[in-house]
């Protein structure tokens, strides 16, 4: 079970960490996403920081199980909010969202199964 937990956790951490970097360096993709959703561009660093904290918290669960579980749970909430932002403006382009949300759910499930079952 540890191998599955470690694989999912490391993959999720890398995925969310790369997304955080894209937000934090001021890349055009996050700006376009914020514009499409009618959100201020000034939110990009905050959203990037939230992704970065989640990405750092996931592998922290190897040492402190509760930290990893809370990080995964927070990422699930983050992407639930992203879905609501998409739906609010009528966006049906949810492919990227689905990948990120499924990864966050997998990380949460793996953490719960490995540490708390």
State pLDDT tens for residues 80-114: 999 999 999 999 989 999 999 999 999 999 999 99
Q: Give yes or no for a contact between 107 and 9, defined as CB atoms under 8 angstroms apart.
A: yes
Cα 83 from Cα 61, distance rounded (Å): 26
Coil, strand, or helix at residue 106?
helix
Give the pLDDT confidence score for residue 54 in this predicted structure: 98
Model pLDDT for residues 18-76, shown as the tens digit of each residue: 999 999 999 999 999 999 999 999 999 999 999 999 999 999 999 999 999 999 999 99
| Domain region containing 79 | 2-116
Domain count, the chain: 1
Please report, for residues 35, 63, 64, the alpha-carbon distance to residue 59 in angstroms, rounded to integers and kept in the order given: 32, 8, 9
């Amino acid at each position: 079970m540890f191998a599955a937990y470690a694989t999912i956790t490391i993959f999720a951490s890398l995925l969310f960490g790369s997304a955080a970097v894209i937000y934090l360096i001021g890349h055009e993709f996050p700006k376009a996403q914020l514009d499409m959703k009618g959100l201020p561009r000034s939110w990009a660093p905050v959203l990037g920081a939230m992704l970065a904290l989640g990405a750092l918290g996931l592998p922290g669960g190897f040492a402190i199980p509760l930290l990893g579980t809370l990080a995964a749970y927070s990422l699930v909430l983050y992407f639930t909010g992203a879905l609501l932002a998409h739906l609010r403006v009528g966006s049906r382009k949810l492919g990227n969202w689905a990948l990120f949300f499924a990864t966050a759910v997998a990380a949460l499930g793996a953490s719960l199964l490995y540490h708390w079952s």
